[in-house]
Amino acid sequence: RFHGEGYQEGLAEGSHAGLAEGRRYGALHGARAGSEIGCYLGFALTWHCLLQKCTDEKNRKKIRALDSLIEMIQKFPCEDPTYDKLQEDLEKIRGKFKQVCSMLNIQSDFRTGTERSSLTF
C-alpha cells in the first residue's frame, strides 16, 4: 500500500515539475528563434531599401535574393510551435541568410546564449 501511494505521489510531483520545466525550455528556445528570425528580417528589409536605388544587374540579383529571404521569413509559422518542419524551415532561412551575406560581401555572425545576442558585420 505504501509503495503504491508513494508511486502515485511521485508521479504527480514529477509530472508537475516536468510541465514547468518544459514551459521554461520552450519559452527560452522560442525567444531565441524569434530573436534570430527578427534580426534576419530587419537585416533583409534594410538592405532591400538600400539597394532599391541601384538598378544594375548585379544589384537586381541581390534584391531577388533578399526578396526570397523576406518571403521565407514571412511564411515561417512563428505562432505554431507544433509545426513539424519548424527546424527544417529555420535551417533553410539560415542558409538563405548566409547566401545573401555572401552576395553582399558581408561576414555575419549571429550569437545567442550567454554571450550577448547580436548580429555583427
pLDDT at 111: 57
Does a structural domain hold residue 53? yes
Residue pair 54/82 in contact (Cβ under 8 Å)? The answer is no
Does a structural domain hold residue 24? yes
Does a structural domain hold residue 74? yes
Does a structural domain hold residue 118? no
Q: Which three cell numbers stand for residue 45?
A: 528589409
Does a structural domain hold residue 29? yes
Number of domains in the chain: 1
Does a structural domain hold residue 7? yes
pLDDT at 53: 82
pLDDT at 107: 83
Per-residue pLDDT of the chain (121 residues; tens, 9 = 90+): 777 888 888 878 877 777 888 888 888 888 898 899 999 999 999 999 999 887 788 888 999 999 999 999 999 988 887 888 888 999 999 999 999 999 998 887 755 444 555 555 4
Query: 83 by DSSP, 3-state: which?
Result: coil
19: left (phi over 0), alpha (psi -120 to 50) or beta: alpha
Torsion angle of C-alpha atoms 56, 58, 61, 62, degrees rounded to 10: -100
- The residue segments making up the domain with residue 21 are 2-104
Does a structural domain hold residue 71? yes
Residue pair 26/81 in contact (Cβ under 8 Å)? The answer is yes
Does a structural domain hold residue 120? no
Q: Which three cell numbers stand for residue 28?
A: 527560452
Beta bridge partners of 111: 118
